[in-house]
Amino acid sequence: MIKRIGVLTSGGDAPGMNAAIRSVVRTCLHHQLETIGIRRGYAGLINDETVSLSGRSVSGIINRGGTILETARCDEFLTEEGQRKAKDAIRYHKIDALVIIGGDGTYRGAIQLWERWGVPCVCIPATIDNDLNGTDITIGADTAINTALEATDKIRDTATSMERVFVVEVMGRKSGYIAMQVALAGGAEEVLVPEREYDLEDMCHDICEGASRGKRSWIIIVAEGAAKAVDIADKITEITGLDTRVAVLGHIQRGGSPTAYDRILATRLGVEAVELLVNGDSGKAVGIRDGWVVSTDLHVAVKKKDQTRDVDYFYKLMKDVT
Ligand code: F6P
């Protein structure tokens, strides 16, 4: 029977992680379980950095970005020695099960803990990239899109005022989700994502054609994994001769107060993660599908999400209305 649950956040932080921690702690209280917070993800597990979490410790955090537990990317956890240290800390603190909040690297760590070391684990998807299987959307993606969109809208103001091409680089090393959503919501003229091949000559041809019809400004959204915005901008200037500027949005996309959507999603998924563990389930990732909370085997959840259909659909939609 589970008496004490550990919770940690790992990998890149995502807005809404705090709301998920809060939900986990409060659901544990509801079931009369203790909650131990582990600081700095798997690194904190290895180095035994824990903190007892009460209802009070998570008050006033639902609206805060980042994670009160802090987070890290931890190479040592990939080694057997690192995992053994983590397992020892779990045993020492009498932690019966873990709720692990993060992205695909985090999921892979949880699989190790569960299958190799017998620690019951349930994962909660939190990454701005929205690239995990087993959920329609991950915690943090909605906030990141809104942050990037707000910035893009502002860039549009100066682009139209000064008749310029702007290349806006958003996050997403392997995922074009943020780029595609921002392009659509921001009325961008073009979007480059890692999941889709692009032809710069074609794009410049479209820009020139637009210019000949009297168009005077363009917003090109580039996912960081598709290309570097500066390279694209150089090419555009070289081919079209138009005045081109670059904006790399960077880590502002990971910060800030989570949207209502992310807070509610995090709250629902936090409850489900604890309920699964209480009911003796493990090796799962919780998620949301068609509006309902679901759970998926971690091996399936960790597989790269096939975004091809979505990307094709959204790209066509964007071009049709440009
Ligand atoms: O995984 C989330 C993410 O923000 C990616 O979009 C980005 O490529 C990466 O993390 C950046 O990671 P770091 O902050 O470690 O440089």
CATH of the domain at 219: 3.40.50.460
Q: In which domain, by residue range, is 280 found? A: 4-140+258-303
Q: Are residues 265 and 235 in the same domain?
A: no
DSSP label at residue 9 = E
The CA-atom distances, in angstroms, between 33 and each of 27, 86, 87, 136, 282 are 8, 21, 20, 30, 17
- pTM beyond 0.75, yes or no: yes
Residue 93 domain-assigned (yes or no): yes
> Of all atoms in ligand 1, which is nearest to the CA of residue 73?
15
Q: Are residues 43 and 127 in the same domain?
A: yes
Given 13, 96, 104, 129, which residue is catalytic?
129
What gap in Å lies between CA 320 and CA 115, rounded to an integer? 48
| CB of 172 closer than 6 angstroms to any ligand 1 atom | yes
> Of all atoms in ligand 1, which is nearest to the CA of residue 172?
6
Q: Are residues 136 and 11 in the same domain?
A: yes
| CB of 130 closer than 6 angstroms to any ligand 1 atom | no
Structural domain total, the chain:
2
Residue 269 domain-assigned (yes or no): yes
Nearest CA to ligand 1 atom 11: 12
Q: Are residues 67 and 78 in the same domain?
A: yes
Q: Taking a C-beta distance cutoff of 8 angstroms, is the pair 98, 6 a contact?
A: yes
Q: Are residues 21 and 136 in the same domain?
A: yes
**Which of 108, 171, 228 is the pocket-test mutation for ligand 1 (most atoms within 8 Å of CB)?**
171
Nearest CA to ligand 1 atom 10: 12
> Of all atoms in ligand 1, which is nearest to the CA of residue 224?
8
Q: Are residues 16 and 97 in the same domain?
A: yes
Is 129 tagged catalytic? yes
Q: Taking a C-beta distance cutoff of 8 angstroms, is the pair 149, 247 a contact?
A: no
CATH number at residue 12: 3.40.50.450
CA angle 277, 282, 286 (to 5 degrees): 80
Which of 8, 6, 9 has the alpha carbon at shortest distance from 254? 9
Q: Are residues 112 and 165 in the same domain?
A: no
Q: Taking a C-beta distance cutoff of 8 angstroms, is the pair 116, 82 a contact?
A: no
Surface-to-core class of residue 300, CB atoms within 10 Å of its CB (0-12 exposed, 13-18 middle, 19+ buried):
exposed
Nearest CA to ligand 1 atom 12: 12
Residue 45 domain-assigned (yes or no): yes
| CB of 145 closer than 6 angstroms to any ligand 1 atom | no
| CB of 12 closer than 6 angstroms to any ligand 1 atom | yes
| CB of 254 closer than 6 angstroms to any ligand 1 atom | yes
Residue 309 domain-assigned (yes or no): no
Residue 312 domain-assigned (yes or no): no
| CB of 102 closer than 6 angstroms to any ligand 1 atom | no
Residue 321 domain-assigned (yes or no): no
Q: Are residues 66 and 206 in the same domain?
A: no
What gap in Å lies between CA 159 and CA 14, rounded to an integer? 30
Residue 202 domain-assigned (yes or no): yes
At 304 the pLDDT is 82
Q: Are residues 27 and 132 in the same domain?
A: yes
Q: Are residues 74 and 166 in the same domain?
A: no
Question: Three-state SS for 233?
Answer: helix
Nearest CA to ligand 1 atom 8: 173
CA angle 55, 60, 64 (to 5 degrees): 125
What gap in Å lies between CA 178 and CA 141, rounded to an integer? 7
Residue 28 domain-assigned (yes or no): yes
pLDDT one digit per residue (tens) for the chain, 322 residues? 999 999 999 999 999 999 999 999 999 999 999 999 999 999 999 999 999 999 999 999 999 999 999 999 999 999 999 999 999 999 999 999 999 999 999 999 999 999 999 999 999 999 999 999 999 999 999 999 999 999 999 999 999 999 999 999 999 999 999 999 999 999 999 999 999 999 999 999 999 999 999 999 999 999 999 999 999 999 999 999 999 999 999 999 999 999 999 999 999 999 999 999 999 999 999 999 999 999 999 999 999 888 888 999 999 999 898 7
CA 38 from chain centre, in angstroms, equals 20
Residue burial 193-229, b: 16+ Cβ < 10 Å; e: rest: bbbbeeebeebbebbeebbeeeeebbbbbbbbbbbeb
End-of-domain residue from the set 254, 285, 317:
254
| CB of 6 closer than 6 angstroms to any ligand 1 atom | no
Residue burial 305-315, b: 16+ Cβ < 10 Å; e: rest: bebeebbeebb
Q: Are residues 100 and 8 in the same domain?
A: yes
> Of all atoms in ligand 1, which is nearest to the CA of residue 103?
1
Q: Are residues 67 and 179 in the same domain?
A: no
Distance from residue 4's CA to the centre of ligand 1 (Å): 32
Supply φ then ψ for residue 110, to 5 degrees. Answer: -65, -35
What gap in Å lies between CA 125 and CA 106, rounded to an integer? 9
